[in-house]
Amino acid sequence: MSNRKIVFINPPYERIAKGYDFVKHITNNSPSLGLLHLAAEVRLHGYVPKIIESDIFNLSIEQVMDEIEKESPAYVGITLFTVGVWNALTIAREIKKRFPETVIIVGGPHISSMGKETMERFREFDYAVDGEGEKILVELLQVLETGGNPFSVPGIIFRKGPFVNQTQGKAVNKDLDELPMPAWDLLPDFPRAYIPAIYDYPRGPVATIAASRGCPFHCKFCDTSTFGSSVRFYSPKVVFQMMKHLREQYGVRHIMFVDDLFVASRLRVTELCQLLIESGLNFTWSCTSRVDTIKPDTLALMKQAGCWEISFGLETGSNELLKKMDKAAEVEKSEQAVNWTAAAGIRTKGLFMLGYPGETRDTVEMTKAFVRRIPMTIMNLTKFTPYPGSPIYRDLYGTNIRDDHWEKMNGMNFVWAPEGMTVEELDRHYQDILMSFYQRPKMGLYYASLSLRYPHHLLRLARFGLGFLAAKIRSHVQGRHGLLVQPGATTPH
Ligand code: B12
Ligand code: SF4
């Protein structure tokens, strides 16, 4: 019997910009759903998967290697986000050094966006799967096991002699209902160890589900290279079964839907809501929507079915910038959607970015005014990052591959700055915008009452607050006048 063990690794990555370490107390620790899906599929075909969540458990490369040594798998599968490529490479290098027979397979958003370049550059990765990996990974494993011809497997990239070959096609699952349930049972300490960002859920335990894949829009900053623009849905009945399973097996009480666009089809959302209401399971849940796919009647039903929070990609308070982003939305529409959401009794999480090409001091002021004007309850501000796979990456860099900042591409670093602005100035605006939203008495009162209702968050907040104070003091002592970002941490180009 051949060795059918496969160890999946979510590699560690730089989560926080240097100087912002205190943020880790409040950030999201969701597992890689992609690896859970892959593990479930290969298990169905007789392989023996294991998952190492090295980032969530703060594992060092040495600890990851100990696990590999213990398992002695024939295959290692690594999920690659752009920010994690270098750490993934370190792990792959060590594996090749110590266990040269192990076949290393990579996949994930970075491969879907620049798979060929990555494989040409890093000889430690043996095979890459472009797109949604479930079916293709199984095909590939079967070919490897039987000594078949890898050219017969579609959507893969591999090295043969000096050449990197790419077979035709990209892996897509047309019928999501066919896929087995994610293998939550393989996650060590699930669900306890996998907490989302602070105040992003009322109470745990929490689990994530992607109820659909794909998004038909083409916002220029967004990397849609894995799922593409054709939207595919699980049927509401199957989503409900997953939720029921999570409640019965693990006591999960809150679900985070991580779809690109959960409210893409109001009909499906309505069906799921009806199932949830009838079930009496009393789940709370959060999801994503665009400002133009939501209507008051749907919101009322969602609230009744337990919807706690909706994330809207609001991005900026400037219509001109929204246009430059090809967001196909206007500030006025955003305002209306947030007002409707608040009226329905659902929290709004506004996703914003700072430093997109065209950002000026005026647009920063517009964003500040906008975030103070709307009844938003939580604000997430990321530092604009041109991810490979996003249209803006090609606009900024042409076809040149810029990899000098991959390890900084976590949305918490400025790896690029618009004309006329420095990283330091952007960092100051970053703090100002957040402060102009959060530093208002009404937000203080809101979070105080939320904390009293859900005291679990208080402890996380206290740790964050103490860390922030310490960072500010350190910055003044070191003569950085309150700037948190460490000098020389990133240089824009
Ligand atoms: C939930 C989510 C998170 C969660 C969970 C992260 C995780 N490890 O899965 C949290 C909040 C922690 C997170 C963090 C980050 N995220 Co995020 N996240 C998402 C989101 C919304 C959904 C991911 C998901 O669960 N998809 C569903 C599963 C089934 O898909 P999947 O994970 O891609 O896996 C499939 C394929 O990629 C492939 N595959 C994946 N790995 C492997 C490995 C092998 C061996 C094979 C064969 C195949 C394969 O097969 C899988 C099954 O079909 C996506 C948007 C999106 N459309 O994917 C962004 C997205 C993946 N995130 C992104 C980014 C930038 C980040 C962060 C850097 C910071 C940030 N600003 O959010 C960090 C980095 C995290 C890391 N580990 O490196 C970008 C990635 C861009 C890039 N080129 O790197 C995306 C695409 C958003 C976007 N549109 O720009 N994220
Ligand atoms: S930002 Fe949202 S709406 Fe725009 S392409 Fe990405 S997932 Fe779709």
pLDDT tens by residue, 446-486: 999 999 999 989 989 898 999 999 988 988 888 888 888 66
Highest mean predicted confidence (pLDDT) among 161-170, 200-209, 388-397, 467-476: 200-209
215 in contact with ligand 2, CB cutoff 6 A: yes
Give the ligand 2 atom nearest the CA of 215.
8
Give yes or no for residue 159 having a pLDDT over 70. Answer: yes
> What mean pLDDT value characterizes the chain?
93
Ligand 2 pocket member 313 (CB < 6 A): yes
- What is the band of 402 on the pLDDT scale with cuts at 50, 70, 90? low
pTM for the model stands at: 0.94
Task: Write the residue with the smallest CA distance to atom 4 of ligand 2.
Answer: 219
Min mean pLDDT across 143-157, 202-216, 386-400 is at 386-400
% of the chain surpassing 90 pLDDT? 79
Say if ligand 1 is within 6 A of residue 135 CB: no
pLDDT reported for residue 404: 67
Atom of ligand 1 nearest to the CA of 226: 37
| HEC string for the chain | CCCCEEEEEECCCCCCCCCCHHHHHCCCCCCCHHHHHHHHHHHHCCCEEEEEECCCCCCCHHHHHHHHHHHCCCEEEEECCHHHHHHHHHHHHHHHHHCCCCEEEEECHHHHHHHHHHHHHCCCCCEEECECCHHHHHHHHHHHHHCCCHHHCCCEEEEECCEEEECCCCECCCCHHHCCCCCHHHCCCCCCCCCCCCCCCCCCCEEEECCEECCCCCCCCCCCCCCCCCCEECCHHHHHHHHHHHHHHHCCCEEEECCCCHHHCHHHHHHHHHHHHHHCCCCEEEEEECCCCCCHHHHHHHHHCCEEEEEEEEECCCHHHHHHCCCCCCHHHHHHHHHHHHHCCCEEEEEEEECCCCCCHHHHHHHHHHHHHCCCCEEEEEECCCCCCCHHHHHHHCCCCCCCCHHHCCCCCCCCCCCCCCHHHHHHHHHHHHHHHHCCHHHHHHHHHHHHHCCHHHHHHHHHHHHHHHHHHHHHHCCCCCCCCCCCCCCCC
Ligand 1 site-directed mutation target among 7, 79, 242, 356, most atoms within 8 Å of CB: 79
Q: Is 224 in the pocket of ligand 2 (CB under 6 A)?
A: yes
Task: Grade residue 59 by pLDDT with cuts at 50, 70 and 90.
Answer: confident
Mutate to test the pocket of ligand 2, among 261, 310, 312 (most ligand atoms within 8 A of CB): 261
Look at ligand 2, atom 2, and give the residue with the nearest C-alpha. 260
Q: What is the pLDDT of residue 372?
A: 97
Q: State what percent of residues in the chain have pLDDT above 70.
A: 96
Give 314-370 pLDDT, tens digit per residue.
999 999 999 999 999 999 999 999 999 999 999 999 999 999 999 999 999 999 999
Ligand nearest to the CA of 326: 2
**How confident is the model at residue 480, as a pLDDT?**
83
Instruction: Report whether residue 290 contacts ligand 2, using a CB cutoff of 6 Å.
Output: yes
